[in-house]
Structure 1
């Protein structure tokens, strides 16, 4: 796979016609876009489906704070010589991956990111990302924001349908371009107003979700840390079943960077 995003080559649409107006319009938008593939999976042997996560460089020229990660799902009907194409923008890669998993992509396939991109800074980042990727419809996204300048970060404001306490969750990703790493953290709030207040003033640390703590309020560190060499997708999916407890990791300063 090359660094650029060659739509016709990657999706093999030669000889196929769009099945509907939405698919036709989506293809037309790509010709004026500037997409770089971050992760992709193409089904075999018949190649009926393609799932791709891309960085949409054109989003940086538009509305400030707009999401820059695009998920693309293609379904080909090789008997009718047609295809359907869906797209969805997200602030972070795990939410784009989640959208594709919900459309039939195996999570362990789309979890594999290009080797030349920035790396997760720690095992907790891997764990939070995998939690998002395999969460199904657990999180309803309410808002998001992407910043290319200091602080280089994204945040996604969500409602956790499973949480009895502090159901509003903020997923905060921050990049360190110099180190070539990034962190992802999850914060919990009683309501949207409290979450937005934290995002506006950052007067304290991101509050940990209640399920990160035991009955005494101490942070649970009983979970074995995920091996970075294996990656987050190597752990059994059952590990995400309640109670959700993060792996033991050293404390890291917030960090910043997606594309090198």
Structure 2
């Protein structure tokens, strides 16, 4: 399959109004596939993570990574179509996993990769991807020119302290690397103040003090097992961080 996505729905009718309208939101050639999984033997379900090039020319800071699930009913020749935009690839992968995609299949990213700078970045990628319903996304933003960065503002249902968590990603295009860090805040207002101000370091989660060694050890094991690097890049247009998450049918970075 080429990197440009074909939904293969020519012989199917939409099962509902939402499914009828959703595919029309994606113009031919706008989507570049980053990872995909199709159930066997008949492709009754398709799970896709793609970069939507058209999003870069829309609302500044809006999500550009879209997670798509297509379910086909071969007996009725109908399909249902669901999609969600996210600010970072692992959040899009998480959405697909929560919608029935095997975690190991959607983690196999294709294309031109850049690499995590360290084991903590690799560990955080996996933590987000496999976190289930732990993180409620309440805001996001992205900048596709210097400094190249992405942030996702979440509420961590597992956090006993500082439950508002910011996942902050910086890309180094010249070195072809990216770094992810997690910040912890007592409330949303404090997190948004840090995102707007940036005059102090990103505050580490309280549990990092006790779990740093084990986290890094697990990340090193995961790396040695052959985990895929995460693809990044982006248009040259500048996008200031957005105050909230843009929703289409419900981003990350392009190849």
TM-score range, shorter chain: 0.7 to 0.9
Gap regions ≥5 residues in structure 1: 234-255
Bigger relative contact order, structure 1 or 2, given CA contacts below 8 A and separation 6+? 2
Structure 1: how far apart are the matches of 2:221 and 2:208?
16
How far does residue 46 in structure 1 lie from its aligned partner after superposition?
2.2
How far does residue 200 in structure 1 lie from its aligned partner after superposition?
1.1
Structure 2: how far apart are the matches of 1:232 and 1:207?
28
Which of 163, 174, 189 is matched with 1:178 structurally? 174
Contact 2:154 2:166 survives alignment (8 Å): yes
Query: Counterpart of 2:236?
Result: none
Contact 2:66 2:92 survives alignment (8 Å): yes
SS of the equivalent of 1:226 reads helix
| 1:16-165 superposed matches below 5 A | 16-31=12-27, 34-165=30-161
Structure 2: how far apart are the matches of 1:135 and 1:6?
27
Query: Counterpart of 1:166?
Result: 162
Contact 2:65 2:254 survives alignment (8 Å): no
Query: Counterpart of 2:5?
Result: 6
**Pairwise CA RMSD:** 1.8
TM-score (norm 1): 0.83
| Cα pair distance change 1:73/1:140, threshold 3 Å | same
Gap regions ≥5 residues in structure 2: 234-252
Aligned residue pairs total 230
CA displacement, residues 162-208 of structure 1 (integer Å, 9 cap, x when unaligned): 11100000001111111111111111111111111111111122111
CA displacement, residues 96-127 of structure 1 (integer Å, 9 cap, x when unaligned): 00110010001111011114222222221111
Structure 2: how far apart are the matches of 1:80 and 1:222?
50
Query: Counterpart of 2:225?
Result: 230
| Cα pair distance change 1:33/1:90, threshold 3 Å | farther
Structure 1: how far apart are the matches of 2:2 and 2:174?
24
1:221 matches 2:216: no
CA displacement, residues 184-242 of structure 1 (integer Å, 9 cap, x when unaligned): 1111111111111111111122111111112xxxx731452234352458xxxxxxxxx
TM-score (norm 2): 0.85
Contact 1:226 1:232 survives alignment (8 Å): no
